[in-house]
Structure 1
Amino acid sequence: MFSKSAWLHLRIPFSYYLMPVYLFSLAVSDNVNTSNAIIVFIALHIFLYPASNGFNSYFDKDEDSIGGLKNPPKVSKGLYYLALVFDLIALLLVSFDFWVLLMFLIYGLVSKAYSHPYIRIKKYPFGSWFIAGLFQGFFTFLMVYLGLNGIRPEELLKQDILIPALLTSLMLWGSYPMTQIYQHDEDSRRGDNTLSLKLGILGTFHFTMILFSLTTVLFGLYFIEHYNLNIASLYVLAMSPVVGFFFYWYIKARKNKDVVNFEYTMRLNAISATCLNLFFIILYLN
Structure 2
Amino acid sequence: MVEKRGAGLWLTHLGLIVGVAFIFFPIWLAFVASTVTNTEIIRPPMPLWPGDQFVENYTRALTAGVNAPVALMMGNSLIMAMGIALGKIAISLLSAFAIVYFRFPGRKLFFWLIFLTLMLPVEVRIVPTYEVIANFGMLNSYQGLILPLIASATATFLFRQFFMTVPDELAEAARVDGAGPMRFFFDILLPMSRTNIAALFVILFIYGWNQYLWPLLITTDPSMNTIVMGIKQMFPSGDDFAHWPTIMATSILAMVPPVIVVVGMQKLFIRGLVESEK
Q: For the superposition of Structure 1 and Structure 2, which TM-score range results when normalised by the shorter chain? A: 0.3 to 0.5
**What is the TM-score with the length of structure 2 in the denominator?**
0.34
Report which structure shows greater RCO (CA 8 Å, sep ≥6): 2
Q: Pick the structure with more helix per residue.
A: 1
Q: Give the greater-gyration-radius structure (CA).
A: 2
